[in-house]
């Protein structure tokens, strides 16, 4: 219990601060320059005009042809029990669930001894660790499934809606794992601490990250961010995602989403802010569309990273309306809610169903995810909902929970030597 409280406290420290313009003490990222900069060379007004160069036929820009991407329903047995020469079989066992925060692209900025260092060490993994974890999870026989495919809502014999666990049809011998990524919002504090700044569409039409390296150079890459990194891994290992699933992105709204500042601000209700906000909403739409096309789904992490164990129902209602208005309107309806800080509402959701849980369920949420020591899940009997816990590959578990994660990877093989020396407890 002590451990859980410590975890919650630290998460509070990490994520509780408001986004507000400038309140983080850091710069909000300026937009990346859009590919072609206009030629800015000064024109000498007195010089005779240069003869017009022969206009070269501008080559038509090659239209980017996106590769087809197939998404299959894991609750349906492929015809003849086979797809692409692979045999499928029914699976009703545990669906494991691993969740990550954004990953550290530049450890020298994350682990620089500042006030954020400990929190980043506790709750994040580095790019190298992430890649090793992916490889090991894959090597251990897991395949990705999307969280929205694991349970369904049906009408029970009593005429009431209820959730049921679906039978999954998996490639023979494989085990299912859900991935979720929390706080994929690109908060200002992260930008200063070694993370990428936003997602963009690369020249090849693929989701790519944009950011600045420690020297301030612009970097467009698919290797520094857990979203394109997973895309790439699945391209190289298509059998890791037989249904095309990637991860579920757990989004707050108070700093916008995916690196785009789509949020309203209490302190700034100027027409300029609103115009910028609308432009950011337009800019993020193609990113969302491409993510959805390639197997990513979305869940709510509340608008304000609200601690559901501590806030009043009224505050939570206001927050939920804002999430649906500012985030749900972009990513679409979702049945998934990820508790900020892992904090359960109403003093617990396992033995009781309190007013906050009931309200959130009434807003369309059906799967309520916390954080725990195993991939626990429970279909509630008194309301149409599922509660579940997720495991958390990060510094705390790499250092202290090696055994619990051996079914996925061995922390000894994963832990990045660039981490600060906070010690390990490996037995």
Q: Which residues bind Zn ion (CB under 5 A)?
A: 182-183
Cβ 69 to Zn ion, closest distance in Å? 28
8 Å CB contact between 224 and 209? yes
Cβ 255 to Zn ion, closest distance in Å? 12
Cβ 360 to Zn ion, closest distance in Å? 16
- Which C-beta is closer to Zn ion: that of 183 or that of 394? 183
- Which C-beta is closer to Zn ion: that of 200 or that of 247? 247
- Which C-beta is closer to Zn ion: that of 182 or that of 319? 182
- Which C-beta is closer to Zn ion: that of 255 or that of 288? 255
8 Å CB contact between 199 and 258? yes
Closest by Cα among 346, 353, 348 to 383: 353
Cα 200 to Cα 209: distance, rounded to the nearest angstrom: 6
Cα 190 to Cα 197: distance, rounded to the nearest angstrom: 8
- Which C-beta is closer to Zn ion: that of 121 or that of 182? 182
- Which C-beta is closer to Zn ion: that of 182 or that of 290? 182
Closest by Cα among 87, 7, 6, 18 to 304: 18
Cβ 263 to Zn ion, closest distance in Å? 16
Cβ 339 to Zn ion, closest distance in Å? 9
Q: Could you give the C-alpha distances from 326 to 62, 290, 297, 350, 351, in angstroms and in order?
A: 35, 19, 17, 30, 33
Cβ 305 to Zn ion, closest distance in Å? 6
Q: Please enumerate in sequence order all residues whose Cβ is within 8 A of that of 282, keeping only pairs 6 or more positions apart, or say none.
A: none
Cβ 301 to Zn ion, closest distance in Å? 5
8 Å CB contact between 202 and 220? yes
- Which C-beta is closer to Zn ion: that of 183 or that of 280? 183
Cβ 250 to Zn ion, closest distance in Å? 7
Angle between helices 355-362 and 313-323 (to 10 degrees): 20
With the C-alpha atoms ordered 122, 128, 132, 135, is the resulting torsion angle positive or negative?
A: positive
DSSP 138-188: HHTTEEE--GGGTEEEEE-TTS-EEEEEPPEEEETT-EEEEEEEE-TT--H
Cα 175 to Cα 34: distance, rounded to the nearest angstrom: 43
- Which C-beta is closer to Zn ion: that of 166 or that of 248? 248
Other Cβ atoms within 10 Å of 407 Cβ, number: 13
């Amino acid at each position: 219990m002590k451990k859980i409280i410590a975890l919650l406290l630290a998460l509070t420290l990490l994520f509780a601060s408001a986004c507000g313009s400038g309140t983080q003490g850091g710069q909000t990222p300026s937009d990346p320059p859009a590919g072609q900069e206009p030629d800015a060379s000064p024109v000498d007004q007195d010089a005779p005009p240069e003869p017009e160069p022969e206009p070269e036929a501008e080559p038509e820009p090659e239209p980017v042809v996106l590769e087809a991407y197939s998404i299959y329903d894991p609750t349906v047995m492929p015809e003849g029990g086979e797809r692409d020469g692979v045999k499928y079989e029914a699976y009703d066992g545990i669906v494991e669930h691993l969740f990550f925060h954004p990953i550290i692209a530049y450890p020298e900025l994350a682990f620089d001894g500042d006030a954020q260092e400990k929190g980043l060490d506790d709750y994040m993994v580095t790019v190298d660790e992430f890649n090793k974890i992916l490889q090991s999870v894959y090597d251990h026989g897991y395949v990705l499934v999307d969280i929205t495919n694991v349970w369904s809502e049906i009408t029970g014999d009593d005429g009431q809606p209820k959730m049921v666990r679906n039978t999954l049809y998996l490639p023979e011998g494989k085990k299912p794992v859900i991935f979720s990524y929390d706080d994929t919002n690109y908060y200002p504090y992260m930008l200063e601490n070694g993370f990428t700044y936003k997602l963009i569409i690369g020249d090849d039409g693929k989701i790519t990250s944009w950011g600045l390296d420690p020297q301030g150079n612009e970097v467009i890459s698919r290797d520094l961010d857990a979203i394109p990194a997973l895309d790439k891994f699945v391209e190289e290992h298509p059998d890791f995602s037989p249904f095309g699933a990637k991860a579920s992105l757990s989004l707050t709204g108070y700093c916008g989403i995916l690196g785009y500042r789509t949020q309203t601000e209490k302190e700034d209700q100027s027409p300029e802010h609103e115009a910028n906000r609308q432009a950011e909403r337009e800019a993020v739409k193609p990113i969302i569309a491409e993510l959805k096309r390639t197997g990513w789904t979305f869940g709510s992490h509340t608008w304000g990273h609200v601690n559901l164990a501590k806030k009043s129902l009224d505050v939570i209602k206001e927050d939920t309306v804002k999430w649906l208005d500012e985030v749900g309107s972009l990513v679409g309806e979702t049945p998934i809610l990820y508790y900020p800080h892992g904090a359960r509402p109403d003093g617990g959701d396992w033995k009781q169903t309190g007013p906050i849980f009931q309200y959130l369920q009434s807003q369309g949420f059906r799967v309520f995810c916390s954080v725990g020591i195993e991939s626990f899940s429970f279909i509630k009997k008194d309301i149409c909902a599922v509660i579940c816990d997720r495991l958390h590959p990060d510094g705390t578990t790499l250092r202290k929970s090696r055994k619990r994660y051996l079914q996925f990877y061995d922390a000894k093989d994963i832990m990045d030597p660039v981490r600060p020396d906070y010690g390990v407890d490996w037995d």
